[in-house]
Structure 1
Amino acid sequence: MAKVHVLYTGGTIGCVPDAQGALAPVPGPEFERLVLSMPGLSGHRVADHPGLTWTMGWLDRTLDSSAMTPADWIVIARRILDVYDEHDGFVVLHGTDSMAYTASALSFLLPGLSKPVILGGSQVPLTVALSDALPNLVGALALAGTLPVPEVCVFFDTRLLRGNRARKIDANRFAGFGSPNFPPLATVGSFVDRNSALWLPMPGEDSSLSVPANRAGRREELDAQAAALDGFSVPMLWLHPGIRASTVSAMLSGTVPAAKGLVLLAFGEGNGPTDPAFLAALAGADRSGVVVMDNTQVQAGAVLPGAYATGLGAVGAVGAYDMTPEASYAKLVCLLAAGLDPVAVKGLMATPIAGELTVIDA
């Protein structure tokens, strides 16, 4: 027997038109009734998977994922911990716009996972006949109940992706998510093709969330991180030809609460302008304790520290290697919320802790 818990947060999958014709997610009880009316999901069971049952919970306020904040990441992590011992896997139904951010964050907020946490959703609501919602939902449920992958994942359009490697790559097609720098963990067709050699290892008893004491400690740490979030900001800056030093300075000095981190979306392998004033603005931020991450605007490939004379490592920026911008942002927020000093944060940002990056020599 396997039991999966579904946490419905909102998103397109649960949307219906409001009085003005705009889509809005329905409340949790209404969504559960809708899911129970779907083929293969009645009676809180999953057809063709004998013994697989599911329960459902929801946020008090369902959200379009574009309204998600880091505080919501912690709410979701807590809700998973609340029911962790009674279930074998978890599905988080989420809007697609910021799903990659939440999946990345959960991988850092829930170290010690011994059970799958699978984020899913759809490009078209469940109430629409021609929709990707039902196969995405059934697939996520089946995988969460049958695949012992001990990490946070995204399931979308037949592919199970590592959560902190996933990106939204298309706003319209059913194949809305990809993983440019890492292969799928599994692929669903007439059978499930497992790529289990890529899965993260099962945690030891000293860290596993299956141990009650470890879950209690994680809850305390989440409480502390939640309280810390109001004390800092982490902006993201897309570099472009002609960007001015004043733009960097204005972003860092004008953000409230004060910025403790900055994610740069740089050119190519992490390159940026060589204008001395621009570099001085970044160097000044680094000296003041702001952790600057050097990411790339390019979908695939990696930031290679020191590969070019125009690299940003000389002003203290940390190369992201092949980490996605979403994972880089979420990881930076989570580490800063944990109260670590800039030196410690820099070291961990360049170190894989949940399978989010591959260290590559220049």
Structure 2
Amino acid sequence: MKKILMITTGGTIASQATENGLAPTFNADDLLMFMPEIREKTTIQTLTLFSIDSTNMTLELIGKIAETVYQNYEAYDGFVITHGTDTMAYTSAALVYMLKNLGKPVVLTGSQVVVGALFSDVRKNLSDAFLFAREGIPGVFVSFDGIIINGTRATKFRSKSRDAFTSINFPVVAEMKLGMAKYNNLMYHGIYSKTYEIDKDKKLELNTRFCEDVAVVKLHPGIKPELFDFIKAHYKGVVIESFGVGGIPNQFVKINDKLDELIEANIAVVITTQCVEDGTELGVYAVGQITSDQIINAGDMNTEAIVMKLMWALGNFETHDDIKTFMETTVMGDVHYE
């Protein structure tokens, strides 16, 4: 039987009602008591790493998750990590960059409804996560409501519904039906076919160096240019959620000039879109004509992956050219360009 390490970190999946609302109280063994059948086909060891609401997740704690996988890597065939849903997509993306040459499955899951409650999704999500971890596909994944999502492409799309997560600009890897993984045929073709190919001769590398000096700015009518002066003084990188395929105001409020000033100050500027699907295509419109070739084009990445990738890049590269090259290079299927 496959040997899987279950790592718990808190979240709704480990919560129950308290005087102050839902709060994590269950550990890994508590959760497995609700579904003993999982152990019938899988050898499971458990580790409660910490127990928090994922709203309180930090880069240091994500680093501890990565370190735990790294330290136990040789002893297990795969890993299941239970996690709160609100920041799960950030953690899954960060783990991709922290764990280089990952040759085993790391599957994150959680729930929208607490265990034991009517219509709880705990049993389904946890069972699917273990089933997919047994498949042995290398990489980081999010397993939720019967679908498997690439770890850099997951977004929490709904705040209450059981189908909370969606895959952004990337096919769902598989659907979990009747206790089996039904793989998406698209994963065998074109740009997706080599996503999970690995060099088995390369060893797993752990790198948890991140730079937290990254801001995310969502453009809106009425935005004040002075905001970017503050960013220039206090941050090393900024993600701009632009309009449409890359529109930056350049007429009445000249945000484009402010971005030029940031670049001159050696601030890494990444342009993405506020739209959920399709990504950017800079230069299509006059308002998307960015003069500097130092702008980093996020392509079709989702914001969670952009932020984690930029923080990792700033923590590991010194020159802007190296940061830009890394950001615009595909890592485990995180970005594609038209």
The letter of the residue matching 2:22 is L
What's the offset of the Cα at 1:312? 5.8
Q: Partners of 2:121 and 2:290 in 1: how far apart?
A: 43
Please say if 1:334 is aligned against 2:322: no
Aligned twin of 1:95: 84
Aligned twin of 1:63: 52
Q: What TM-score, normalized to structure 2?
A: 0.92
What's the offset of the Cα at 1:142? 1.2
Counterparts in 2 of 1:53 and 1:62: CA distance versus 1, 3 Å = same
Q: Partners of 1:67 and 1:87 in 2: how far apart?
A: 28
The letter of the residue matching 2:106 is V
30-39 vs 263-272, greater mean Cα deviation: 30-39
Q: Partners of 2:137 and 2:12 in 1: how far apart?
A: 26
Aligned match for 2:222, one of 231, 236, 242: 242
CA contact (8 A) 1:351 1:359 kept: no
Aligned twin of 1:179: 167
Q: Secondary structure at the match of 2:100?
A: coil
Q: Secondary structure at the match of 1:164?
A: coil
Counterparts in 2 of 1:252 and 1:65: CA distance versus 1, 3 Å = farther
What's the offset of the Cα at 1:250? 2.3
Please say if 1:261 is aligned against 2:237: yes
CA contact (8 A) 1:108 1:354 kept: no
Counterparts in 2 of 1:263 and 1:130: CA distance versus 1, 3 Å = same
The letter of the residue matching 1:282 is L
Aligned twin of 1:75: 64
Name the structure where strand makes up a greater proportion of residues: 2
What's the offset of the Cα at 1:34? 2.1
The letter of the residue matching 2:111 is S
Please say if 1:299 is aligned against 2:276: yes
After TM superposition, which residue ranges in structure 1, 4 or more long, deviate above 3 angstroms? Answer: none
CA contact (8 A) 2:271 2:295 kept: yes
What's the offset of the Cα at 1:273? 0.7
Q: Partners of 2:306 and 2:115 in 1: how far apart?
A: 32
Q: Write out aligned runs for 1:1-362 (5 A).
A: 1-20=1-20, 22-26=21-25, 30-41=26-37, 45-47=38-40, 50=41, 52-59=42-49, 61-145=50-134, 147-190=135-178, 191-195=180-184, 196-197=187-188, 198=192, 200-209=195-204, 218-219=205-206, 221-222=207-208, 225=209, 229=211, 232-253=212-233, 255=234, 259-275=235-251, 277-311=254-288, 313-315=290-292, 316-360=294-338
Q: Partners of 1:117 and 1:100 in 2: how far apart?
A: 13
Q: Partners of 1:201 and 1:139 in 2: how far apart?
A: 20
CA contact (8 A) 2:7 2:28 kept: no
Q: Partners of 1:127 and 1:314 in 2: how far apart?
A: 57
Q: Which structure 1 segments of 5+ residues have no match?
A: 210-217
Residues 48-107 of structure 1: CA deviation (Å, up to 9, x unaligned): xx3x12111122x42211111222221111010111111111111111111111111111
Q: Partners of 2:286 and 2:130 in 1: how far apart?
A: 49
What's the offset of the Cα at 1:235? 0.6
Q: Partners of 1:72 and 1:342 in 2: how far apart?
A: 28
What's the offset of the Cα at 1:121? 0.3
Counterparts in 2 of 1:179 and 1:357: CA distance versus 1, 3 Å = same
Q: Partners of 1:151 and 1:205 in 2: how far apart?
A: 13
The letter of the residue matching 1:15 is S
Residues 274-298 of structure 1: CA deviation (Å, up to 9, x unaligned): 1464222211111111111101111
Task: State the percentage of identical aligned residues.
Answer: 31
CA contact (8 A) 1:46 1:142 kept: no
Q: Partners of 2:239 and 2:46 in 1: how far apart?
A: 36
Q: What TM-score, normalized to structure 1?
A: 0.86
CA contact (8 A) 1:305 1:311 kept: yes
What's the offset of the Cα at 1:207? 2.4
CA contact (8 A) 1:46 1:138 kept: no
Q: Partners of 2:284 and 2:51 in 1: how far apart?
A: 45
What's the offset of the Cα at 1:313? 3.1
Q: CA RMSD in A?
A: 1.8
Alignment coverage as a number of residue pairs? 329
What's the offset of the Cα at 1:338? 1.4
CA contact (8 A) 1:93 1:119 kept: yes
